[in-house]
Chains A and B, each alone.
Chain A
């Protein structure tokens, strides 16, 4: 295998199509990270794959905790990401359409989301694609466990509240340790 050092010239843009992590300067392709480089001379492709797992970036699927919802945004903390290193907690937010009656995520839920861009210096996430959505949640009124009641809605077994959420296919319910009852 061929390892490239950051700043190493890998070829010219006229001859190859670069894929992966690179920069182009004056028509030359340079690596920006320690990368595994594969040159496909037939297809004229240079594949530049970083050796170290990168940081969360656009297009990644991440697991996050919803800190609070303040429409039109839900603020989340990314807790893990597939094949990525997380040096520390990274904040992100989800746009919640103010015209919707309900928010697809609620406070305290654990969600699977996709990074769709950066805005105002924060990562913007989305749960709208299939497979994404709430992985774990409890009733955000009383903290009780939820049962799935059909597509994108769940009912609290304690207080009977019906929550409308974007549920992931592998949704699991959880409950707060104490049941707080107020008359």
Chain B
């Protein structure tokens, strides 16, 4: 009855349990934004733009540091069925967890009474869009020159047919037994996002966390490469 998603140790898209999907990041794709990035992670295609720090007059602004705002939005054409462009409850929750995942990495005290906006637009969605959004947004924030303690990289681990696997694709996300997106600040050995749904034993949870950390290290290399590519190119032009 249950779909066999892992056959002879290979996943539905031919990957092994710890392999990442193809991951590509471009930096600086929107001229007007302070910083921006584009990520392709599996079938995910996501644009992130950073605006600010800008003056904030709103009630609730912080006198001691910059206020971070985040909007995660899925384009109506990003899914199989047209998605209502109104923000759904899922999008509102994800906006919040992305913000909470990025804020610990930033040094916001330098910009009191200002606002930094993170706009995430999912052009095409696949499994792990929130993880990909965080990975891309951290790069965009670096591109914007917002001071930070470390880059943040996120990846999901999950359980599919009883096996722990990293970086779930759409079908594994929907039909697997568990899905756990995690975001790391690797320098400080810290976790800035952790969600899980499904069923996992305590041992699986702990092993999964370590698998996610290994995958995050690989993602960090790709983030670095993307930033270096943009900036060493810019330097050569001068």
Residues in chain A within 8 A of chain B (CB atoms): 1, 3, 5-7, 9, 21, 23, 25, 30, 32-34, 36, 50-55, 57, 85, 87-91, 118, 120-122
Contacts and interface: CB of A to CB of B under 8 A. Distances in A.
Contacts of B147: 6, 21, 23, 32-33
A122 B113 CA distance: 7
Residue of B55, B105, B151, B185 contacting most chain A CB atoms (<10 Å): B55
B187 A7 contact: yes
* Chain B interface main SS type: mixed
B149 A7 contact: yes
17 contacts: A3-B228, A5-B227, A6-B150, A7-B149, A9-B187, A25-B188, A32-B147, A32-B148, A32-B149, A34-B145, A34-B227, A51-B235, A55-B145, A85-B145, A89-B55, A90-B55, A122-B112
Given A89-B55, A91-B55, A121-B64, A3 B149 contact: no
A91 B185 CA distance: 33
Contacts of B235: 1, 3, 36, 51
Contacts, number: 91
Contacts of A121: 62-64, 112-113
A143 B53 CA distance: 34
A5 B27 CA distance: 13
B228 A5 contact: yes
B142 A34 contact: yes
B52 interface: yes
A21 B146 CA distance: 11
B118 interface: no
B110 A7 contact: no
A52 B63 contact: no
Given A9-B187, A87-B34, A88-B52, A3 B232 contact: yes
Interface residues of B, number: 37
* Chain A interface main SS type: loop
B205 interface: no
A30 B34 contact: no
B54 A88 contact: yes
The 4 closest A-B pairs by CB, nearest first: A7-B150, A88-B54, A52-B145, A121-B113
Interface string B57-86: 000001110000000000000000000000
Given A34-B227, A34-B231, A50 B149 contact: no
Given A34-B143, A55-B110, 14 more contacts: A5-B151, A5-B223, A6-B150, A6-B151, A21-B147, A33-B145, A33-B146, A34-B145, A52-B143, A87-B51, A88-B52, A90-B54, A118-B112, A120-B63
Contacts of A5: 142, 151, 223-224, 227-228
Contacts of B185: 7
Contacts of A51: 145, 231, 234-235
A53 B145 contact: yes
A88 to B, nearest CB: 3
Contacts of B151: 5-7
B145 A50 contact: yes
B223 to A, nearest CB: 8
Residue of A7, A36, A52, A55 contacting most chain B CB atoms (<10 Å): A7
B113 A23 contact: no
A57 to B, nearest CB: 7
Contacts of B64: 121
A33 B143 CA distance: 8
A85 B227 contact: no
Nearest to A118: B112
Contacts of A57: 110
B144 A52 contact: yes
